[in-house]
Structures are given as C-alpha cells and as structure tokens.
Amino acid sequence: MGAQMKDAATTSDAATGTVDLAEEFRQSGVKEILDQLDRELTGLKPVKQRIRETAALLLVERARKQLGLAHGAPTLHMSFTGNPGTGKTTVALKMAGLLHSLGYVRKGHLVSVTRDDLVGQYIGHTAPKTKEVLKRAMGGVLFIDEAYYLYRPDNERDYGQEAIEILLQVMENNRDDIVVIMAGYSDRMDRFFASNPGFRSRIAHHIEFPDYSDDELLHIATTMLAGQGYQLTSSARTAMQEYISYRRPQPHFANARSIRNAIDRARLRQANRLFESASGPLDATALSTINDADIRASRVFRGGLDHERTPRSDQDPIQ
Amino acid sequence: MRVTQGCFSFLPDLSDAQISAQVDYCLAQNWSIGIEYTDDPHPRNTYWEMWGNPMFDLKDAKGVMMELDACRKVNPGTYIRLNAFDNTRGWETVRMSFLVNRPAVEPSIEMVRTDTVGRSQTYSWRTVR
C-alpha cells in the first residue's frame, strides 16, 4: 500500500473518531496534580495559570495525536525565571508529575543539577560529566538551576560552552526522551538567552515567577508551622507580619526560603525559652506554641546582620 | 559458529526495541547496567573490555541505548554484551547478561588435543578465525 493511501485512511478515521476531553482530563490524573498545586502552593497566580494552559495544550495535543491529526513530539523545554525562594524547584517537581501523567515523559523523575554537575575541571572532563547527567535524566525532567552560570562570557576557554553544546544537541534530538527546565533570576536568564540564541529557540515555554506579597508570605509561614505542628499566638502573628515587612528590603531576601529560615530560628528560640524558663511539667500547647518574643528576638528587627546593617543615623533605630 | 552465551542466546538476535525492553526490566529491578565488548568469545575469556563504568542511578533505558549505540559505532564487528548488576547483597552481583551485538562472521571454537606424560591427553579450546 502506498503512503498516500495510508494517509487517506488515517484522515477518514480521524473524521469519524471522537474524543471526550473531560473524560481524558479525569483519567489522566492531571486534575489531581493541578488541584494539589492549588492547595499546596500559596499565591503564584500567573504560574498556576500558565501551568493550567500548558496542561490544556498538552491534553488537546494528545487527543489530536489519537485522531491522527498531530505528528511528532511538541517542544516542551521550559525556562522558569524568578527571584530566589519563589518556588521554581517545587513547581518543576510538579511539572515532572504532570508531564508523566500526560505521557510526555516515560518515567517522570526530576534530576536537579547546577553548573558543578555538568561542567568539568579539565580538558575532556566536561563531555562525560554532562552525558552522565543526561543519561540519568532520560525519561524524565532535567532541572538546571541557575543555568546562566554555564556561560561565562569573560572566559572564552571556559568548559561551560562544551556542556551547552551537548545540551543543545540532546534538547533537539531527544525531544521525546527528556524535558529540560532551566531556572534562574530573570535579568541574568535574559542575558543568558540573548548570548545563546540556540536555547531561546528551543525553549517554548517561558514562565515568570512573581515575588510573594507580604500576606502570602504570612500565609506560607502559618502553613509551614502548621505542617510542623506549631501554632502562632495572635501577637506572634503580628510580629511575623512586621518581621516580613522589615526583612524584605534587607540583603539576601529570598522569599519563602527566608521565611523557612526565620521559622527554624524561631523554633530554636522557643526551645531555648522553654528549656530555661520551664519550672514544671509542660503540656502539648506550650510545646507547640511560638509567642511574639521568639520572633521579635530576631536581628531583623534591629536592621539585619551587624556587618550588613546600613547606617541609619538619620532614622529612628528599629527596636 | 554461532556463540551462545548468556540469556536469550538461543533466540534470534534481539532488536533494539527488545533490548530496550529488557533494560527497562533490569532498571525496574534496581539493577545497574554495564556494557562490555570483546573480539574473543572464548568461554574462558571472562573479562571483556568495559565500555565505561557500569551505569548507576538510571531510570530509563534510553541512557543505556545511547551508550550502546556509541559502543557499536566505535567497535563494529565485535561481541557486545549487557551485564545487569544487583546490589541487594551489599556487593554487585551479575544477575543477567546477554549479547546485544555479534560480528557478521563469527569465529569458530576448535578443540585442541595435546599429548602429555604417559600417553595421556589434555584437551583445550581455542578461537579460530
């Protein structure tokens, strides 16, 4: 039979076949992942919206494939840009699950790497190292954090270029075996893509992660604490709110990660307070309550770390 | 002479899709795959040349198939086998081994009879091309 006749046969099948998208949506398990994303991640509205759109596109693409309308794997490589602590890695993990349940990657695991895992230290070291990582990531998602470090424009003999070339080749030739997600700060990623046009054209989905608002960070703090079995007193809640507004302009602010660290230190102070002040048996409430003194003891209320504190002689010192 | 070593060697040669499926089975058992090649299929030649290190932490057969393709390109017309290593006992044990490539014309193995003291004879085998 000639190829033309075969094509004609598929087209006529396509005309008669139907696809129930709602049913596909239910069966693929995508709904659970999207619901989980909504439940577990605070804020990030534009990100969730983009993921929803991507999921819809992939679902439709899969349905089209079933009816013989689409051929070949779509480009799924993505870039996640945003400030530190905005949930890029967490979303990448969810994305791997999403792509797996839609059948776009075979195994659905996430391999998270940085420059150190890809680039070697001497001639001939880089290619095996990069290939090793790519082999591990086959059938899943390769997440390259701070991808712009791969490219060092100031050193033309930098081995990063070699890793970039291998990556580009695999991103093109093994599109149905691997999905690459590159992540990093927005401005530096833009510069990275500008100097490596090969990446820009091979990445179809650019997703921008916004900073969390103060309210969202407070919500993240309470859910994190609830997850660890702690609660805040109402005055501690106010203290946390103030903490967030003081912490934001200070150096090395990393959104949810800063909040996680603050919570860890508050737990430390709470343990210390209980240890030093307790004079009798403690009940579960005392052990799981964080009060405002635990939070207000933070150096953030005094303007940050001593050596990083900006001189504020003209302002009231924050007590 | 058709060499029969390891699993599946009495079956027709495996296609790449079949090799890939076998590798997926091995990876699902948490076995690691090593690729080895040689031009001497003598049964006593246990230690074949290693094509890189055994591959640990793989999830998908594609990684093995990429290395196999590379090995075939560099060593055409040799015997290539995949060994699956199981580490559940705390050391690596070969649990499965099968040929994935053989030369177009295979050498034959010939018996050699040698006279030794007191008219007794010893037997050995050698590869003949």
Nearest residue in chain A measured CA to CA from B57:
A136
Contacting residues of B for A141, CB less than 8 Å apart: none
**What pLDDT does residue A5 have?**
44
> Which chain A residues touch B62 with a CB distance below 8 Å?
135, 138-139, 174, 177-178
| Identity of the residue in A106, A135, A177 whose CB atom sits nearest the CB atom of B58 | A135
The confidence score (pLDDT) of residue B79 equals 95
**B44 in the Ramachandran plot: left (φ > 0), alpha (ψ -120 to 50) or beta?**
alpha
The residue of chain A with its CA nearest to that of B56 is: A136
Distances (CA, A) of B27 to A162, A226, B99: 29, 39, 17
CB contact under 8 A, A177 and B62: yes
Strand order in the sheet with B93-101: B49-50, B32-38, B79-86, B93-101
Q: Say how many C-beta atoms besides its own lie within 10 A of residue A117's C-beta.
A: 16
Reported ipTM: 0.81
How many contacts (CB atoms, under 8 Å) link A and B? 34
**Phi/psi-derived region of residue A68, left when phi > 0, alpha when psi is between -120 and 50, beta in every other case:** left
**DSSP code for B75:** S
How sure is the predictor about B24, in pLDDT bands with cuts at 50, 70 and 90? very high
Q: What is the DSSP string of A42-105?
A: -S-HHHHHHHHHHHHHHHHHHHHHHTT---SPPP--EEEEE-TTSSHHHHHHHHHHHHHHTTSS
Residue A131, pLDDT score? 93
Q: Which residue of A has its CA nearest to B58?
A: A136
Q: B54 CB near a chain A CB, below 8 Å?
A: no
Residue of A nearest to B54 (CA): A132
Tens of pLDDT along A185-238? 988 999 999 888 888 888 888 899 999 999 999 999 999 999 999 989 999 999
Q: How far is A88 from chain B (nearest CA, A)?
A: 23
Higher pLDDT, A7 or B5: B5
> Alpha-carbon distance A25 to A36, whole Å?
15
Q: What does the block give as tokens for A29? A: 């398990």
Could you say which residues from 14 to 53 on chain B have a Cβ atom under 8 Å away from some Cβ of chain A? 52
Kindly determine whether residue A135 and residue B59, on different chains, have CB atoms separated by under 8 Å.
no
Q: How far is B101 from chain A (nearest CA, A)?
A: 21
Instruction: Categorize the per-residue pLDDT at B7 as very low, low, confident or very high, splitting at 50, 70 and 90.
Output: very high
Chain B: residue nearest A110 by CA? Answer: B59
- Confirm if A138 and B67 have CB atoms less than 8 A apart: no
State how far residue B92 is from chain A, nearest Cα, in angstroms.
Answer: 19
The distance of A136 to chain B (nearest Cα, Å) reads 5
Contacts of B66 in chain A (CB under 8 A): 131, 135, 138
Interface-testing mutation among A104, A132, A169, with chain B (most B C-beta atoms within 10 A): A132
Residue A64 makes CB contacts below 8 A (sequence gap 6+) with: A70
User: Is B67 at the interface with chain A, CB within 8 A?
Assistant: yes
| pLDDT exceeds cutoff 90 at B70 | yes
Closest-approach residue (CA) in chain B for A135: B63
Dihedral angle, C-alpha A227, A229, A235, A239, nearest 10 °: -50
Give the pLDDT score at A283: 86
pLDDT given for residue A1 in this prediction: 38
For residue B59, the distance in angstroms to the closest alpha carbon of chain A comes to 6
Q: Enumerate the residues of chain A whose CB falls inside 8 A of the CB of residue B61.
A: 139
Mean pLDDT of chain A: 85
Q: Give the pLDDT of residue A144.
A: 94
pLDDT along chain A (319 residues), means of 10: 44 60 81 85 87 86 83 83 89 89 89 93 91 93 92 85 92 91 91 88 89 91 91 91 90 90 92 86 87 88 70 46
| pLDDT for the residue numbered A9 | 43
Q: Which residues of B touch A127 (CB under 8 A)?
A: none
Q: Does the distance separating the beta carbons of B62 and A107 come in below 8 Å? A: no
Give yes or no for A109 touching B (CB within 8 A).
yes
Task: Find, in chain B, the residue whose alpha carbon is nearest to that of A108.
Answer: B59
Question: Measured between CB atoms, which of B52, B57, B59 is closest to A139?
Answer: B59
| B62, two tokens | 């594609």
Mean pLDDT of B93-98: 94
* pTM of the predicted structure, to 2 decimals: 0.80
Tens-digit pLDDT profile for residues B74-84? 999 999 999 99
pLDDT score at A308: 64
What confidence score (pLDDT) does residue B62 get? 92
Which residues touch A7 (CB under 8 Å, ≥6 apart)? none
Give the pair of three-digit tokens for residue B109: 């193995």
Residue B57 at interface with chain A, using a CB cutoff of 8 Å:
yes
**Is the predicted pLDDT of residue B113 greater than 90, yes or no?**
yes
Under DSSP, the state recorded for B7 is B
